[in-house]
Amino acid sequence: MSAVLVTVVIPAYNAREYIAETLQSVIDQTHKALEIIVVDDGSTDDTASICRRFAAADPRIQLLSTENRGVAAARNTGIEASTADYIAFLDADDLWHHTYVERMLSALHPLPDDWGAVYALHRLVDSEGYCTKSGSSLSARDSILVRHLVFRFVGNGSGFMVRRAVIDKIGGYDPSYANQGIGGCEDFDFELRTAEHFKIEAVPLGLVGYRVHPAAMSTDRSRMARSLLAVTEQCVARNPKLPAFVISCAHASAHLYAFSKFAALREWRNAATSLKHIYQHSPPLAAAVIVKLVFSKAIRAASRVLAKARPVRQPKRKYCKKFEELDPLIPLVGGWSRFRTKALFRRLSEIDRCGGTFAATSKKECFEGRSLHSIGNDAIS
């Protein structure tokens, strides 16, 4: 497979702080047959000049410049310019392990054509590239629409590779979210639309370094919350045959995320709306959310008091290694919660196995006699 060409699409907007490190992580890939397309999305800093220096030294890199239209439109520009049968996406501040493309291609390429994509997991890195936290360890493969809608395995836009057939079937990324002022979760929308038509493989390793820094798009918490809610609603609208239980879980999952963002910003009206949706799915879950909110505020208040009474200490790094120094085989941890339980995962897996609906298969065959009501009770126990 060393001769199989892979296109790497990198949308970049005012990314001068990180674009060099991001490009270097692509250049250093063990798979060398790459077409690297950087789309400068109307940057006002020296992002373009940095990319031109890299392109002058590596003929695989090409720079395209457009007016600022948002990350979805920038990715689509890169897709239109691509020529490979495989396309991988990387944000301009994120990192890839040097085996990323090789592992992803090795997982997807041998599979039949109805497998349209592959994803990897991630670790969080700080502005200096040090690993600070493990991403979720949860993953699923094959037909994953229902599970991905609720569990959101990928977690960012830098861990997804697709066959050209996916683009031919579903088109590119949807720029309408950015046009409405709620850009941020276009990658999740793209993944869901892929999962509606194709099986998806997983490489459950932390091969992506997801950068957390103050200028990142994800730091606009209110916009991210509204974006995720909109993407979830669009997916439910496109799939009217989804069981009511799945729709309820999808809404609860999205509103749990939204509530945390709105509450952190003290947007209490929006937070109350999200809490209402959580309550409709599970009153005990809503109560747990409130208790957690109260305790977290109490802990933060106590921490502020203690901070005034003792000298400020430099925070210790959980990891002392840069992302590229970590062995990708080191297990990721976490992902389960009071809502994302193993019972819920099993039930959604059964629904995915039946194609996400009951149209072609009986309840008894799908769930071995269990009713939707009992499944819902299991999921929140």
For the segment 14-62, what is each residue's pLDDT rounded down to a tens digit?
A: 999 999 999 999 999 999 999 999 999 999 999 999 999 999 999 999 9
* Residue 375 scores a pLDDT above 50: no
- Evaluate whether residue 170 is within a structural domain: no
Query: Of 178-187, 190-199, 212-221, which gets the smallest average pLDDT?
Result: 212-221
**The domain containing residue 361 runs over which residues?**
223-314+336-379
- Evaluate whether residue 237 is within a structural domain: yes
CB atoms closer than 10 angstroms to residue 60: 16
0.85 surpassed by pTM = yes
Q: What token pair was written down for 370?
A: 């269990």
pLDDT number for residue 364:
40
- Evaluate whether residue 110 is within a structural domain: no
Report percent pLDDT > 70 for the chain: 90
pLDDT number for residue 302:
74
pLDDT number for residue 367:
37
The mean pLDDT of 287-312, rounded to a whole number, is 79
Long-range pairs for 60-64: beta carbons < 8 A, 24 or more residues apart = 60/34, 60/35, 60/36, 61/23, 61/36, 62/35, 62/36, 62/37, 62/38, 63/38, 64/37, 64/38, 64/39, 64/40
- Evaluate whether residue 291 is within a structural domain: yes
CA 274, 275, 280, 284 torsion-angle sign: positive
- Evaluate whether residue 193 is within a structural domain: no
> 84-107: per-residue pLDDT in tens?
999 999 999 999 999 999 999 999
- How far, in Å, are 33, 88, 297, 376 from residue 6 at the CA level? 6, 7, 47, 42
Contact 39, 194 (CB under 8 A): no
- Evaluate whether residue 93 is within a structural domain: no
Alpha carbon distance 172, 149 (integer Å):
19
Model confidence band, residue 163 (pLDDT cutoffs 50, 70, 90)? very high
pLDDT number for residue 380:
35
pLDDT number for residue 182:
95
Which residue do the tokens 């995915």 mark? 352
Whats the size of the chain, residue-wise? 381
pLDDT number for residue 299:
80
Q: What token pair was written down for 123?
A: 């670790």
Model confidence band, residue 371 (pLDDT cutoffs 50, 70, 90)? very low
Model confidence band, residue 377 (pLDDT cutoffs 50, 70, 90)? very low
* Residue 315 scores a pLDDT above 80: no
What residues contact 362, with CB distance under 8 A and at least 6 apart?
none
- Evaluate whether residue 233 is within a structural domain: yes
Contact 134, 333 (CB under 8 A): yes
pLDDT number for residue 142:
98
Counted domains in the chain: 1
Average pLDDT value for the chain: 90
* Residue 214 scores a pLDDT above 90: no
pLDDT number for residue 372:
36
Model confidence band, residue 317 (pLDDT cutoffs 50, 70, 90)? low
pLDDT number for residue 357:
62
- How far, in Å, are 17, 78, 91, 381 from residue 13 at the CA level? 11, 14, 10, 44
Contact 192, 117 (CB under 8 A): no
Query: Of 73-77, 263-267, 320-324, which gets the smallest average pLDDT?
Result: 320-324
* Residue 348 scores a pLDDT above 70: yes
Which residue do the tokens 């339980």 mark? 341
Model confidence band, residue 362 (pLDDT cutoffs 50, 70, 90)? very low
Q: ∠ at Cα 232 (171, 82), nearest 5°?
A: 20
Model confidence band, residue 311 (pLDDT cutoffs 50, 70, 90)? low
- Evaluate whether residue 282 is within a structural domain: yes
Contact 49, 21 (CB under 8 A): no
Report percent pLDDT > 90 for the chain: 83
pLDDT number for residue 101:
98
- How far, in Å, are 12, 92, 115, 189, 242 from residue 223 at the CA level? 19, 20, 32, 15, 27
